[in-house]
Amino acid sequence: MNWSTEGGDLRVAHFLGLHGLQVIPLFALGFHRFRPKSAAMLTALFSLLYVATFTAVLIQALSGHPLLGVV
């Protein structure tokens, strides 16, 4: 992906944010198919964890720290 290992790179957060539009509905479909009684709760939990990960990566990039690499 050629993400920066020397400074903050907003492409990582952009990647996670855009693919969240695909990943979250797919997980919701899977939860609904295999665990229909708890699908709403599991989807909400997964969404919160995904948003927390996205936010952490965004803050890290805005702070100027690389995703992978020694700071």
Structure tokens at 38: 């708890």
In whole angstroms, give the CA distance from residue 41 to residue 56.
Answer: 23
Element containing residue 48 per DSSP (H, E): helix 39-62
One-letter amino acid at 9 equals D
One-letter amino acid at 8 equals G
43 or 1, greater pLDDT: 43
Q: pLDDT tens across 17-53, in order?
A: 999 999 999 999 999 999 899 999 999 999 999 999 9
Angle at 47 between CA 45 and CA 5, to 5 degrees: 120
pTM of the full predicted structure? 0.83
